[in-house]
Amino acid sequence: MDYNKNAKFFRPSPSLKLPVIGGLVGVIGLAINPVFGIGVLIIVILITVALFSGRPSEDEIDRQAGEFIKNIKAEALKKTLLEEEQLSAEPIFFWNYQIGPAVLTDPAVAGLQDKRGGDGRWRSPHVEATAFLFTESAIHYYRKISSLVSDAVKVTTDELYYKHVTGVTSDSKEYKIEQGNQIVQGNVVVLRSGGESFFFNAPDNDSAERAAMAVKSLLRQKNA
């Protein structure tokens, strides 16, 4: 993973002011002195290419973000100290960008921004991958927040006994985006247990609903 290249995606968009002014000077220069005008236009083109070249596409950033979930089952089993034979139902996995205030200590994000793509999806330098593992007595969750611009990572796990889980829902959650003081809506799966609420970022409403329904169905079986 090329951290420096990925960081270009999340930097504030370069200003076109200098290339535009330079282009105008070059066009005017062509009328006065063609050699001078062509020279200015070449310089403007080189500067513009330098400003925008090497920036990953949205698809490339999505592809790299999706890599964090490829080995999540093995990682989750290891971190929760479970063996695959202990699982009583199919695990659930999903991921999304960690939008809003960062929860991962990562100096590399200084000066970077969450970005809204042409598809309307918000992307950030941090990716949250979630695994729900189910044993006979409990839901074991594994959450890993990883960086696209450094090797920073944060892992949390917990064990929620079925008898203590009081609710499972899919919901929307508001996140504050620093640039422009914007408030955006995200999709989450919410587990409630022991008076606490645990929020897990899902990529979209359908994914959140599918995960919540699967957990609800399992809870009904376990608590029957």
Three-class SS state of 9: helix
Among candidate residues 169, 98, 87, the one with its CA nearest the CA of residue 134 = 87
pLDDT band at 76 (very low <50, low <70, confident <90, very high): very high
Domain shared by 97 and 188, yes or no = yes
pLDDT of residue 46: 61
Q: Return the percentage of the chain with pLDDT > 70, whole number.
A: 79
DSSP 14: P
Domain shared by 120 and 33, yes or no = no
pLDDT of residue 18: 56
User: Number of structural domains, the chain?
Assistant: 2
pLDDT of residue 20: 57
For residues 9-24, average pLDDT:
63
Higher per-residue confidence, 102 vs 104 = 104
Residue 100 phi, psi (nearest 5): 90, -160
Distance CA 44, CA 187 (A): 43
Higher per-residue confidence, 177 vs 212 = 212
* Token duo for residue 123: 């992307």
- For the chain, the average pLDDT equals 84
Domain shared by 35 and 84, yes or no = no
Higher per-residue confidence, 55 vs 40 = 55
Distance CA 22, CA 43 (A): 8
Domain shared by 94 and 193, yes or no = yes
Of 12, 34, 52, which residue sits at a domain end?
A: 52
Domain shared by 62 and 140, yes or no = yes
Beta bridge partners of 147: 126
Q: Exposed, middle or buried, 96 (CB in 10 Å: 0-12/13-18/19+)?
A: buried
Q: Return the percentage of the chain with pLDDT > 90, whole number.
A: 41
Question: Would you say the C-alpha torsion 187, 193, 197, 199 has a positive or negative sign?
Answer: negative
Residue 96 phi, psi (nearest 5): -160, 165
Domain shared by 145 and 188, yes or no = yes
User: How many Cα neighbours within 13 Å face the side chain of 74?
Assistant: 3
| pLDDT at position 49 over 70 | no
For residues 41-62, average pLDDT:
71
- The range of the structural domain enclosing residue 203 comes to 58-222
**Tens digit of each residue's pLDDT (9 = 90 or more) over 112-140:** 888 888 888 889 999 999 999 999 999 99
The answer to whether the CB of 149 falls within 8 A of the CB of 3 is yes
**Tens digit of each residue's pLDDT (9 = 90 or more) over 199-216:** 999 988 999 999 999 999
Distance CA 42, CA 27 (A): 11
Domain shared by 117 and 81, yes or no = yes
pLDDT of residue 174: 82
Rg of the chain's alpha carbons, rounded to an integer?
23
pLDDT band at 45 (very low <50, low <70, confident <90, very high): low
Domain shared by 48 and 121, yes or no = no
pLDDT band at 145 (very low <50, low <70, confident <90, very high): very high
User: Which of 4-8, 31-35, 71-75, 169-173 is modeled with the greatest confidence?
Assistant: 71-75
